[in-house]
Amino acid sequence: MDFELTDDRAALRDEAREFARTEIAPRASELDRNREYPAEILGELGERRLTGLTIPEAYGGRGEGTVELALVTEELSAAMMPVASAMGLHLGVAEAIERFGTEAQREAYLPEMARFETVGALGLSETNAGSDKRSMETEARKAGDEWVLDGHKRWVTNYFDADVVLTYAKTGGDPRTTSPPSSSRPTPSRSNTSGTPSVPTASSRRKCRSRASACPTRRASATSAKATSTAATSRRA
Ligand SMILES: Cc1cc2nc3c(=O)[nH]c(=O)nc-3n(C[C@H](O)[C@H](O)[C@H](O)COP(=O)(O)OP(=O)(O)OC[C@H]3O[C@@H](n4cnc5c(N)ncnc54)[C@H](O)[C@@H]3O)c2cc1C
Q: How confident is the model at residue 85 (pLDDT cuts 50, 70, 90)?
A: very high
**Ligand 1 mean position to 66 CA, how many Å?**
22
Q: Is the CB of 204 under 6 A from ligand 1?
A: no
Q: Is the CB of 157 under 6 A from ligand 1?
A: yes
Interval 7-27: pLDDT, tens: 999 999 999 999 999 999 999
Which atom, in ligand 1's list, is nearest to the CA of 131? 29
CB 208 within 8 A of CB 216: yes
pLDDT of residue 53: 98
Q: Is the CB of 124 under 6 A from ligand 1?
A: yes
Q: Is the CB of 134 under 6 A from ligand 1?
A: no
pLDDT of residue 144: 96
Q: Which residues make beta-bridge pairs with 234?
A: 165
- CB under 8 Å to 100, separation ≥6 — which residues? 229, 230, 231
Whether pLDDT at 235 is above 90: no
**Ligand 1 mean position to 131 CA, how many Å?**
5
Q: Is the CB of 156 under 6 A from ligand 1?
A: yes
**Ligand 1 mean position to 200 CA, how many Å?**
20
pLDDT of residue 212: 72
Q: Which domains does the chain have, with CATH numbers?
A: 7-118 (1.10.540.10)
**Ligand 1 mean position to 126 CA, how many Å?**
10
Interval 141-151: pLDDT, tens: 999 999 999 99
Closest C-alpha residue for ligand 1 atom 49: 131
**Ligand 1 mean position to 130 CA, how many Å?**
4
Pairing of strands 120-123, 164-167: parallel
Interval 172-226: pLDDT, tens: 865 444 433 333 222 223 223 333 333 333 333 443 336 677 565 556 665 544 3
Measured CA angle at 121 (ends 47, 162), to 5 deg: 65
Q: Is the CB of 210 under 6 A from ligand 1?
A: yes
Q: Is the CB of 155 under 6 A from ligand 1?
A: yes
Share of the chain above pLDDT 90, in %: 71
Q: Is the CB of 194 under 6 A from ligand 1?
A: no
For residue 57, CA distances in Å to 63, 69, 216 come to 5, 15, 33
Interval 111-131: pLDDT, tens: 999 999 999 999 999 999 999
What are phi and psi for residue 225, nearest 5 degrees?
Answer: -140, 145
pLDDT of residue 184: 29
Interval 29-83: pLDDT, tens: 999 999 999 999 999 999 999 999 999 999 999 999 999 999 999 999 999 999 9
In angstroms, rounded to a whole number, what is the distance separating the alpha carbons of residues 92 and 20? 21
pLDDT of residue 179: 38
Q: Is the CB of 213 under 6 A from ligand 1?
A: yes
HEC string of 112-169 equals HHHCCCCCEEEECCECCECCCHHHCCCEEEEECCEEEEECEECCCCCHHHCCEEEECC
pTM, two decimals, is 0.81
**Ligand 1 mean position to 108 CA, how many Å?**
32
